[in-house]
Amino acid sequence: MLELDQISGGYGQGLTIPDLDLTLHSGEWLSLLGANGSGKSTLLKLVSRMLPIRSGGVRLDGKLIHHQSTQKVAQQMAVLPQQQTLPAGLTVHQLVCLGRTPYQPWWQWDLTPTDRHKVTLSLIQTGMLSFRDRPIEQLSGGERQRAFLALALAQDPKVLLLDEPTTYLDLRHQLELLDLLKVLHQDHGLTIITVLHDLNLATRYSDRLALLYQGQLQSLGTPQQVLTTANLAQVFGINASIIDTPVGLQICALSANAHPQNTPSDLNHARG
Amino acid sequence: MPHDKLNLSSTRETKSKVLRRASIIGFFAVGLVATLLLALAQGSVTMSFSEVWQALWHQGPSLNQTILWELRLPRIAAALLVGAALGMSGALLQGMLRNGLADPFILGISAGAGLVAIALITLNVFLAWLPLAAWVGAVLTAALVYFLGHSSTGIAVERLVLGGVAVSSLFGAIQTTLLLLSDDGRIQAALNWLIGSLNGRGWAEVTTAGPYIGVALILGCLLSRVINVLNLGDDLAVSLGISLSRSRFLIGGVATLLAASAVSIGGLIGFVGLVVPHGVRLVVGNDYRWIVPLSAVGGAWVLTLADLLARVGAIELPVGVVTALLGSPLFIWLLYRRATPFQGA
């Protein structure tokens, strides 16, 4: 479905991701995990074309995405960025209508009946139909995320990339959003990649986890395979115990290790 | 059937929206036509509407015919073209740069056109070529600003704006130096051009720049849907399949073409491109598919009205003075209104 083939890239001249391979199966939910600065958001930005790839390639359905028109790729892959710009006065309906952009040729002025149907459908799927005429700036955090999710769904994508979708939400809204994604994942076979900070939520919802450490793939597999005390100590620098709970494996962090990344040379560097 | 109900309610909503938009378009159309009629009739020689009608059909006193066909009509046509170009150019740039302070001259167009025009006027050379030279100066300067705004990752909004500011102040300094070194008579002519005037514009200017402005107006309308997407931020725009560099290049290019053509006819007429899109936004909301075309209509209307005011007084004022005098208080009022919470479109 989605193959990352020895990709490298990053901000400016630096290579946050030096060389990385990863294959995603169709209908799979993969979470990218890692400490701050491990390159998980950068990786998502490389896949979603927000950052240029220095070398290697990303294949979607076997075709290199950087060789296709950006509009064609947008018909298959949608992104929910971490921070959204809110244009003043834009209503939920207007926002979601923009999700049909990948299907509109340059001369098309308004939506077709098919477009309208898809927009209504994605408003229903996200439970945002009753909010359709509300300006997005007046929505609560959870409603706002659902509105932007509806925008992404209106693209009718096969792959959905989400960059820390739960960051600004309280616990209940975190669970609501992820449950909604789970329904889309199970009922519509949507392939999902999420960058998540919360290990326990990632473990609970994802089919597979990818642990990143300093831009490298440290471990990849099911939560059972990836969640080991050794991995957690190495990647996050924590002592943790792994507990079997009614919602699957969960982590209880016990203490922070002396951080392995803060070598003396780093400290000197920080002092400048 | 819940689905049928849904369709029904959305059709009803669409109908009320269509009605609302039709009334907005009607408002602009009536305002524009009324202003046009007034502009045809009023001036240093006042005509009645029946006299205007006669003269339009080449009947009645030949003086009236000459005034109408050789003086008023071309001047009104010039005002319509320049106003439409400035209004749409401002709307395109405000949308693309996501900045309410953007106006047609932000990318260095005024500086480039101004420098070339002042150089020709103060040195007293090639004056017949002034419109074309100003146009070339504007386009070249905008190209330079685009070059400065371009980096390895594409065209960044901040770099574009900063590039425009830098080039404008450099060219402005050279322009001021040229003005200081020239004799008094030349300064008068130069100032008139810098403030912007439609005095004495004839069919030649209109037919030269008209086709370019017409094509650019159509292109601008076609690009307005993309601006809506660009307003969601770079990340989402890319995700929705928009090429940032290409769309910014096209939108900036059309806006430059419009502003440069407007400048080549009327000089540096300010405030129309800044204020009109804000006014239109208050009326139609924030959908650029409506803001962009209606800013062209609104710009044409405002400039025709301003030019009418400029020429009915005891002494004729340059139209740029009128737009600035009217525009500044209007802009302050708009800012004040924006401070109150937005009530939806």
Comparing A42-56, A249-263, B135-149, B273-287, which segment has the lowest mean pLDDT?
Answer: A249-263
Q: Is B113 helix (H, G, I), strand (E, B) or coil?
A: helix
Based on its alpha-carbon atoms, the radius of gyration of chain B, rounded to whole angstroms, reads 22
DSSP state of A12: T
CB contact under 8 A, A50 and B222: no
CA-angle at B333, arms to B332 and B336, nearest 5°: 90
CA-angle at A220, arms to A216 and A221, nearest 5°: 175
Name the band, by pLDDT with cuts 50, 70 and 90, for residue B13. Answer: low
A192-216: pLDDT as tens digits: 999 998 899 999 999 999 999 988 8
Q: Are A210 and A33 in contact (CB under 8 A)?
A: yes
B327-338: pLDDT as tens digits: 888 888 877 776
Element (H, E) at B304: helix B288-312
Sheet of A55-60: strand order equals A17-24, A2-9, A55-60, A63-64
A145-167: pLDDT as tens digits: 999 999 999 999 999 999 999 98
Name the band, by pLDDT with cuts 50, 70 and 90, for residue A258. Answer: low
| Residue A68 CB-density burial (10 A; 0-12 exposed, 13-18 middle, 19+ buried) | middle
ipTM, two decimals, is: 0.87
B182-198: pLDDT as tens digits: 888 888 888 888 889 88
Question: Region B145-163: what's the mean pLDDT?
Answer: 83
User: How many angstroms separate the CA atoms of B165 and B170, rounded?
Assistant: 9
Of A75, A87, A107, the CB nearest to B231: A87
Higher pLDDT pick, A92 / A52 = A92
- With tokens 């309410």, the residue in question is B100
Q: Is A268 helix (H, G, I), strand (E, B) or coil?
A: helix
Tokens for B101, please give them. Answer: 């302070």
Question: Is beta strand A216-221 parallel, antiparallel or unpaired with respect to A238-245?
Answer: unpaired
B72-99: pLDDT as tens digits: 999 999 999 999 999 999 999 999 988 8
Residue B153 scores a pLDDT above 80 = no
Q: Considering only CB atoms, which chain B residues are within 8 Å of A42?
A: none
Q: Is B268 helix (H, G, I), strand (E, B) or coil?
A: coil
Q: Considering only CB atoms, which chain A residues are within 8 Å of B241?
A: 69-75, 101-102
Is residue B287 less than 8 Å (CB to CB) from chain A? yes
Of B232, B241, B344, the CB nearest to A87: B232
Tokens for B343, please give them. Answer: 């009530």
Q: What is the pTM of this model?
A: 0.88
Residue A267 scores a pLDDT above 60 = no
User: How many angstroms separate the CA atoms of A184 and A165, rounded?
Assistant: 15
Residue B127 scores a pLDDT above 70 = yes
What's the pLDDT at B339?
Answer: 56
Q: Mean pLDDT for chain A? A: 88
What's the pLDDT at B182?
Answer: 86
